[in-house]
Amino acid sequence: MTTLRDFQGASFEKKCDWVTGNSNFLVARKLGEAKVYLYHAGDFFIEVYYSPKYKKVLMINAFNNVSGLEPYLENVSLSDLKF
């Protein structure tokens, strides 16, 4: 499974396995009482929605558009980069 379409069509269990073995964690954010973890997987990004209260993954969302990254912009700082 290497394309966004393949990932989106996979079972929930296969998505979980694929995220842990084939993607890189980037950043996390809070959404209500859930935590959303963002991963990079080559040509697309994956969001894993996790409930600390219930200790389980609620949903997995994958996308390849830049607008999907907007909720994470407040958590990114470029101040340490030297230009």
Residue 47 lies in a domain: yes
Residue 8 lies in a domain: yes
Query: What are the tens digits of pLDDT across the range 19-44?
Result: 999 999 999 999 999 999 999 998 99
In angstroms, rounded to a whole number, what is the distance separating the alpha carbons of residues 68 and 10? 20
Residue 41 lies in a domain: yes
The continuous run of DSSP H or E covering 6 comes out as: helix 4-9
Domain count, the chain: 1
In angstroms, rounded to a whole number, what is the distance separating the alpha carbons of residues 38 and 73? 12
Residue 72 lies in a domain: no
Residue 80 lies in a domain: no
Structure pTM?
0.86
At residue 73, the pLDDT reads: 83
Find the domain containing 41 and state its range. 4-64
Residue 77 lies in a domain: no
Chain centroid to Cα 12, Å, comes to: 14
Q: Do you know the residue count of the chain?
A: 83
